[in-house]
Amino acid sequence: MSSTTDDTAAGTVRRQRSARPDRAAWGFVLPFCALFLFTFVLPIGYAIYESLLKPVRSGPLGLGPAHIGFAGLSNYTLALKQQDFLDSFGRVLLFAVVQIPVMLLLATVLALVLDTLSSRWASFLRAAYFLPYGVPGVIASILWGFLYVPGVSPIVDLLGKAGLSPDFLGYNSVLWSIANIVIWEFTGYNMLVIIAQLKAIPQELYEAARIDGANAWQTALRVKIPLARPALVLTGVFSIIGTLQLFAEPLVLKPLASAITTSYTPNLSAYNEAFANNNIYLAAAESVILALVASVLSFGFLSLVGRGERSER
């Protein structure tokens, strides 16, 4: 920072000037950092602390007054022993393995097709496909809830007339009805990310591919998709994070579908522990486990993709 040792006037000026940015920089960063500390770092620290506590009853037969004592890792072992909680992770992982590829495939295909269309139609369709992103998740769930319930839903009506009797809210089907809501909400957003990436590709590359005799499909598969890879990685990571947090959709559909239990997803389970069972210590442990699993999966996905990229070279 102040490694210059010459005593010329210019050197002095430079030293003063570089000392100032150091202080100024922290002035700019500090407000954000303070709030970040208060809303990210401290809550996690406090949750970890709470997850290590439990109410301890004293006196004969444990009937005396309770006080809060150190629990060690017992909340974690308790959470991991609950079959419901483990099942909820299995459920969102199954959900992720099916829903994310379907959504990203649809988004990629739509992006590639819109990329070849005339601008007027492309911009209308782009807006139409992107519109659901502006509908809050809970509103989308209320909306689709009406579209799933027999008696209100025109979809069930029409399928009924066609001789089908779909049960969107049944024991096995409701998970995929939720997947449909998530696909509806986020495909357009992901499509837009991919389109943005495609627009950043220099036109000369398409030109070169055409001269080499590539047709539209070959251009799409061999040129566009590889070049859109960063966008696909980004949407993939955000989808993984989003899926693990699944909460609003099942909560809103819960009164309509008996298959949705209070521990249908990890988030729902933690919420239920905290507010219905009043066991904030167990809820804290469940939140920490969820945050951990989410970080491991998203970092794991990133490093997996990074490794693939390196080995290609």
Partner 1 sequence: MSVSAPGIDDSVAGSAATPGAVGGSRARTSRAGFTPSRILLVAFLAIAALYFLLPVYWLVVASTKSTAKLFGSFGLWFSDPHWLHNLSQVFSYDSGIFWKWTLNSILYAGVGGALATLLAGAAGFALAVYRFRGREAVFKAVLAGVLLPTTALALPMYLLFSKVGLANTQWAVLIPSMVSPFGVYLCRIYAEAAVPAEVLEAARVDGAGEGRIFSTVVLRMMTPALVTVFLFQFVGIWNNYFLPLVMLSDDTKYPITLGLTAWQSAADRHPELYQLTVGGAFVSILPLAAAMLVLQRYWRSGLTQGSVKG
Contact range with partner 1 by CB under 8 A, out of 63-71, 80-88, 93-101, 295-303: 295-303
Q: Identify the residue among 59, 60, 65, 151 touching partner 1 (CB under 8 A).
A: 151
Nearer to partner 1, 115 or 167 (CB): 115
**128 touches partner 1 by CB under 8 A:** yes
Residues 93, 87: contact at Cβ < 8 Å? no
Q: Which of residues 86-105 bind partner 1 (CB under 8 A)?
A: none
In terms of Cα–Cα distance, which of 191, 189, 204 is closest to 113?
A: 191
Instruction: Work out how close the CB of 244 gets to partner 1 at its nearest, in angstroms, rounded to a whole number.
Output: 6
When binding is defined by CB under 8 A, the residue of 66, 73, 105, 152 that contacts partner 1 is: 152
Quick one: which of 134, 305, 310, 128 has its CA closest to 232? Answer: 305
Contact 53, 281 (CB under 8 A): yes
Q: Please report whether residue 213 would count as binding partner 1 according to CB under 8 A.
A: no
309 scored as a contact of partner 1 (CB under 8 A): no
Applying CB under 8 A, which of residues 4, 29, 160, 308 lies at the interface with partner 1?
Answer: 29
Distances (CA, A) of 251 to 118, 138, 139, 256, 269: 42, 9, 12, 10, 11
Which C-beta is closer to partner 1: that of 79 or that of 244?
244
Q: What is the dihedral of CA 126, 131, 134, 136, to 10 degrees?
A: -140
Residue 175 lies near partner 1 (rule: CB under 8 A): no
Q: Is 66 in the site for partner 1 (CB under 8 A)?
A: no
Sequential DSSP letters for 47-86: HHHHHTEEEEE-SGGG-S-EEEEE-TTHHHHHHHH-HHHH
Q: Which residues within the stretch 190-209 sit at the binding site for partner 1 (CB under 8 A)?
A: 192-193, 195-197, 199-200, 203, 206-207
Chain residues 234-293 in contact with partner 1, contact rule CB under 8 A: 234, 237, 241-242, 244-245, 247-248, 251-252, 255, 267, 270-271, 274-275, 280, 283-284, 287-288, 290-291
- Nearer residue to partner 1 within complex by CB, 43 or 64: 43
Which of 175, 243 has the CB closer to partner 1?
A: 243
Main-chain dihedrals φ then ψ at residue 54, nearest 5 degrees: -160, 155
Nearer to partner 1, 88 or 287 (CB): 287
* DSSP of 107-143: HHHHHHHHHHS-HHHHHHHHHHHHGGGGS-HHHHHHH
Q: How many residues bind partner 1 (CB under 8 A)?
A: 110
Residue with tokens 């070849």: 116
Q: How far is CA 237 from the centre of its chain?
A: 7
